[in-house]
Amino acid sequence: MSHRNEQIASTIQRAVQAVISRGLNDPRVRGLVSVTKVLVDDDLSKATIYISVLPSERGALTMHGLRAAAKRIRRDVGNVIRLRHTPRLIFRLDDSIKRQSELEQTLKE
């Protein structure tokens, strides 16, 4: 990833986290929701946003709510980044924290 794409990914990460922190008017998006990573395509057409959700049982429900609000989030991100076209936002559940916790639990046993 080029330096410019890394900067754009970082800006998108902060902007999406700010939108989620301010709160979406969607009861499905509750709990501790964090943006763990953002990957932007080379042509800036899409940005894949990895989300961590605690409690992990709410992951699927939260992802459904975020995907439903993707257009609004994209508009808000577009107000922050100065690009001709705002990348399409694709949300993915990042379960690496859950897997790490399970691995630590297994090692303790």
How does pLDDT run across 47-106, given as a tens digit for each residue?
999 999 888 888 889 999 999 999 999 999 998 888 889 999 999 998 777 777 777 778
Contact 65, 26 (CB under 8 A): yes
DSSP element (H, E) containing 85: none
Q: Cα 105 to chain center, whole Å?
A: 26
Residue 82's domain comprises 3-108
Q: For position 86, which CATH number holds?
A: 3.30.300.20
pTM of the model: 0.83
- Per-residue confidence (pLDDT) for residue 14, from 0 to 100: 94
Contact 78, 86 (CB under 8 A): yes
Q: Which residue has the tokens 């922190």?
A: 21
Total count of domains within the chain: 1
